[in-house]
């Protein structure tokens, strides 16, 4: 299936590892050029070189923290110099671990900036470029926790729910400019963070981190396994393609059956 993405420009945040890196490879495999943003410049540069050389596309690494106004502005300026963009993937994010009673205001604010304000600022800066190029697509990576919260990460749950609502309201505003906005709520995706956490939790009990991860999958996902970043990336790429041209303002669950509602 030709997705119609050849020579499009996709901007991806959190692009140096895990889901973001898989998404960069996914777009590049379809012939799209990619602007890859992340905080760790050295790793980002190496991964961007790898994406470019593997798929024969142009890549631009932009080391910045999109959770700050300055970082978002730096990314917007870099994209402008690159010639503009057609696609924005708001992927940068992080899990949390706290209680509502104990978490300070500063932690709430940090996650609000990362999960919500980064998306707001990048939409303001990049949507006009898409409009000038005839339209485009914006996709937000939220979480199943936006609607089915886990008890130990209330700040993550709340800010991802806000991102999902922002996605819906942005979709209504920019559809007139031929910009389609959607949201994905992934379930269990086997990212390096999951592996790192599992190794830490099993370090004093034999180190069977794979068994721990299987237990998590058995408990939460009817499919009984984690999804791979590449499986999720395939869905990202499709939703931003012209093959999904009638998809506007929706939220899609890619979760192996984890969602318990209909």
Pairwise CA distance, residues 249 & 167, whole Å: 7
- The span from the CA of 8 to the CA of 61, in Å, is 16
Identify whether 156 is a catalytic site residue. yes
Q: Which uninterrupted H or E stretch holds 252? A: strand 251-254
What are the start-end ranges of the E strands in 175-225? 179-186
Choose among 246, 257, 244, 234: nearest CA to 23: 234
Query: Tokens 């041209």, residue?
Result: 245
Catalytic residue among 111, 152, 156, 212: 156
Q: How far apart are CA 232 and CA 235, in angstroms?
A: 5
Would you give the distance in Å from CA 101 to the centre of its chain? Answer: 29
Task: Give the catalytic positions in this structure.
Answer: 156
């Amino acid at each position: 299936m030709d997705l119609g993405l050849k020579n499009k420009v996709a901007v991806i945040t959190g692009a140096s590892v895990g889901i973001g890196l898989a998404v960069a490879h996914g777009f590049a495999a379809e012939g799209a050029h990619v602007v890859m943003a992340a905080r760790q410049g050295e790793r980002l540069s190496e991964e961007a070189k790898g994406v470019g050389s593997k798929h024969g596309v142009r890549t631009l690494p932009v080391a910045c923290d999109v959770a700050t106004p300055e970082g978002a502005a730096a990314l917007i300026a870099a994209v402008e110099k690159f010639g503009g963009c057609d696609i924005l993937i708001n992927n940068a994010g992080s899990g949390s671990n706290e209680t509502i009673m104990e978490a300070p205001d500063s932690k709430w604010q940090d996650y609000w900036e990362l999960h919500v304000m980064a998306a707001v600022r990048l939409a303001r800066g990049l949507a006009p470029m898409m409009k000038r190029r005839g339209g485009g697509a914006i996709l937000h990576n939220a979480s199943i926790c936006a609607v089915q919260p886990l008890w130990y990460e209330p700040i993550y749950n709340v800010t991802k729910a806000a991102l999902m609502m922002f996605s819906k309201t942005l979709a209504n505003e920019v559809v007139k400019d031929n910009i389609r906005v959607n949201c994905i709520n992934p379930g269990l995706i086997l990212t390096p963070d999951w592996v790192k956490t599992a190794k830490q939790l099993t370090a004093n009990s034999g180190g069977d981190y794979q068994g721990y991860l299987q237990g998590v999958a058995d408990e939460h996902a009817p499919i009984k396994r984690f999804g791979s970043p590449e499986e999720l990336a395939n869905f990202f790429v499709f939703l931003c393609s012209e093959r999904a041209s009638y998809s506007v303002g929706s939220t899609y669950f890619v979760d192996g059956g984890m969602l318990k509602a209909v």
